[in-house]
A = this chain, B = another copy of it.
Amino acid sequence: MTRLDPLTKLIEQLQRLPGIGAKGAQRLAFHILKTPREDADRLCEAIREVKDRITYCSICSNITDVDPCHYCTHPSRDHRLICVVEEPQNVSAIEKTGDFKGTYQVLMGALSPLHGIGPDDLKIKNLLARVHNGHVDEVILATNPNVEGEATAIYLAKLLKPLGVRVTRIAMGVPVGSELDYADEVTMHKAMEGRREL
Contact = CB atoms under 8 A, between A and B. Distances in A.
B7 A54 contact: yes
A92 B47 contact: no
Contact of A30 (B3, B65, B88): B88
A50 B26 contact: no
30 contacts: A1-B70, A3-B92, A5-B65, A6-B49, A6-B50, A6-B52, A6-B54, A6-B65, A7-B50, A7-B54, A7-B63, A9-B46, A9-B50, A10-B49, A14-B46, A16-B43, A18-B28, A18-B31, A19-B24, A19-B28, A26-B89, A30-B88, A30-B89, A33-B50, A33-B51, A33-B88, A37-B51, A40-B50, A40-B51, A44-B44
A85 interface: no
B53 A48 contact: no
Interface of A: 1, 3-7, 9-10, 12-14, 16-19, 24, 26-33, 37, 39-44, 46-54, 63-65, 70-71, 74, 87-89, 92, 95
B42 A29 contact: no
A4 to B, nearest CB: 6
Nearest to A77: B1
Q: Give the oligomeric copy count.
A: 2
Contacts of A49: 6, 9-10
Contacts of A24: 19
Nearest to A2: B95
A50 B10 CA distance: 7
Contacts of A29: 50
Contact of A4 (B10, B12, B19, B63): B63
Contacts of A14: 43, 46
Contact of A46 (B4, B13, B64, B74): B13
Nearest to A89: B30
A16 B39 CA distance: 9
